[in-house]
Chain A
Amino acid sequence: MSTMDEKQILRVARLARLDLSEQEMSEYARQLNDILAYVRKIEEMETANVRPTDHIVDLHNVFREDRVQSSPGAEALRAIAPRFEDGHVVVPIIIEGQE
């Protein structure tokens, strides 16, 4: 296991679509390394023959009837969308050069 330098924090923040200020960066660098140093304790656990827990309550393949139900509809989407025109959510141009 390793420590996180600023370059790695930048890489991970980018993966998570987060832009960090310089102040956030220096604060996080210190705090995240403190946290990582602490969680490294899990290395002590002997887990060679231990199965990982995926789901914990005894449930398998939960099925339900495939029934047609009404969806919320455009009005409900309009009510929560930051920008909505003519039945569509408005976003910035995605593909350059298209009209």
Chain B
Amino acid sequence: MLVEKSAAELSELLSGGEVSAVEIAREYLDRIESINPSINAYITVDGERALEEAAESDGRRAKGEALSAFDGVPVAIKDNICTKGLRTTCGSLALGDFVPSYDATAYRKLREQGFVTLGKTNMDEFAMGSTTETSHFGVTRNPHNTDRVPGGSSGGSAAAVSALLAPLALGSDTGGSIRQPASFCGVVGIKPTYGRVSRFGLVSFASSLDQIGVFGRSVDDTALMLGAISGGDSADSTSIERPVDFAPGGLDGEVRGMVIGLPGEYFHGVAPCVKDAVMKVAGELEKRGAKIEPISLKYTEYAIPIFYLIATAEASSNLARYDGIAYGYRPSGAESLSELYLRARSESFGKEVKRRIILGTYALSSGYYDAYYLKALKGRTLVIDDFNKAFDKVDCILSPVATGTAFAIGEKVNDPLAMYISDLLTISANLAAIPGMSVPIGLDEAGLPIGLQIMAGHFEEKKILNCAKAIESFVEPLRPPL
């Protein structure tokens, strides 16, 4: 089956003329039609567009004008990344009918290299959540067990890649929204360094933390797609041009001499099976010549409060633009402008989005700014210093991605604080703007995937990917679910 092939394999088959982009797209679309209703990974699938793009790709290949080695390889795009002419809802009624007039830079780069768009994947509303349960378009189910959440907020992208409904997907990660669903769904996911990928066209949640990244089924596939979307962009002044030194051919999976830190704080309260799996991998890396070193990241316990104050403050400001005027949801019959604003927002935002806007507005409001927001910004400096000190001694940091495996659907959705606390192990990488990756390393007793996180210093994605490649070489690959 073509859907079981990696993107690298598809690229080879396409280059050799053994298969057409249309055949690949058709096989994926057929599978989406039969499987997607049971897991709801996609919000929008545009089969006609996918087949058209695939036919164009085949036309280019026939003339020897392939745009890249990956011309004709399909991808899924998280629904907060703008796609010209293709509905982009952000999982919200507020953007329920929004069809962008431009492409996000990351997506434009994929189109310029000939990737074929299968559709837009489900997500927590405005990327605010850790389970994909807050989507206006219904919950996504974990392909490994449909009573479980896929994680979030990029749960649709993770589930699509896991269930063979796409070989690759774009996601976004503000506090773990790529790494945690990758972990829960048993796929590979990477959040690059802040600035590595342009955020232009990514619907803003918390601008100093948001970053676009990639899901794949292998380390090489993930590295190649990350390379395809990387680069500075004049439309995003926080993006940075840096060489892509992690092309799959350049990754050797060599860990000899690599110093790997294990932060004690990241193992408190972690389920024993997850802890054991991570420690086993650390042992294997040591056998292959890595040096394992215990380290301390002592501000970890403050990361959740710091993160949720900064993220909600930025969100309250970013989401002020949803006023019902120029685009997005507009209530009918509003008689004054203030009524229009009030109703547009109150009727179209879900509970979690409103909760975060209120918290963020409060943290920024007169009389509370110093105690909450400013204090959190100072705390962020301490978290960054913590990592800087650690990276003076180690190349990479290894930890679990989450304290356990996928939660049951409904388990945390009505307890926001418990949901926030579940992000403990992923949010610090966003606060420090460093890259982080999730790699599947096994299953728990219930058959649910366990993920391992690798973090490194700014723009050190190559170290992470090499370490991930080493791990991939000795862990048993997961069988695709469904």
Q: Which of B17-25, B244-252, B300-308 is found at the contact surface with chain A?
A: B300-308
A93 contacts partner chain B, Cβ-Cβ < 8 Å? yes
**A52 with B380: CB separation less than 8 A:** yes
**B354 with A91: CB separation less than 8 A:** no
Please tell me the number of chain A residues within 8 Å of chain B, measured between CB atoms: 53
Bound form: Cα–Cα A4–B168 in Å: 44
**B98 with A80: CB separation less than 8 A:** yes
CB distance from A43 to the nearest CB of B (A): 8
A92 contacts partner chain B, Cβ-Cβ < 8 Å? yes
Q: Which residues of B contact A55 (CB under 8 A)?
A: 208, 238
Binary per-residue interface labels of chain A (10-35) against chain B in the complex, 1 for a CB within 8 Å, 0 otherwise: 00110111111000100110011011
Answer whether A72 and B101 are a contact pair too, CB < 8 Å, given A77-B326, A83-B330.
Answer: yes
CB distance from B182 to the nearest CB of A (A): 23
B362 contacts partner chain A, Cβ-Cβ < 8 Å? yes
B146 contacts partner chain A, Cβ-Cβ < 8 Å? no
Binary per-residue interface labels of chain B (234-247) against chain A in the complex, 1 for a CB within 8 Å, 0 otherwise: 10011010000000
Residues 314 to 333 of chain B near chain A (Cβ within 8 Å) = 316, 320, 323-330
Bound form: Cα–Cα A94–B323 in Å: 14
Bound form: Cα–Cα A92–B343 in Å: 13
B297 contacts partner chain A, Cβ-Cβ < 8 Å? no
**B361 with A12: CB separation less than 8 A:** yes
**A82 with B342: CB separation less than 8 A:** no
Answer whether A38 and B304 are a contact pair too, CB < 8 Å, given A1-B371, A12-B365, A91-B325.
Answer: yes
Bound form: Cα–Cα A82–B354 in Å: 22
A51 contacts partner chain B, Cβ-Cβ < 8 Å? yes
B349 contacts partner chain A, Cβ-Cβ < 8 Å? yes
A47 contacts partner chain B, Cβ-Cβ < 8 Å? yes
Interface, chain A (partner B; CB < 8 A): 1-2, 4, 8-9, 12-13, 15-20, 24, 27-28, 31-32, 34-35, 38-45, 47, 50-57, 59, 62, 64, 72, 76-77, 79-83, 89, 91-94
Interface, chain B (partner A; CB < 8 A): 98-102, 193-195, 208, 234, 237-238, 240, 299, 301-302, 304-306, 308-309, 316, 320, 323-330, 334-343, 345-346, 349, 351, 354-355, 357-359, 361-362, 365, 368, 371-372, 374-382, 384, 416-417, 420-421, 432-433, 458
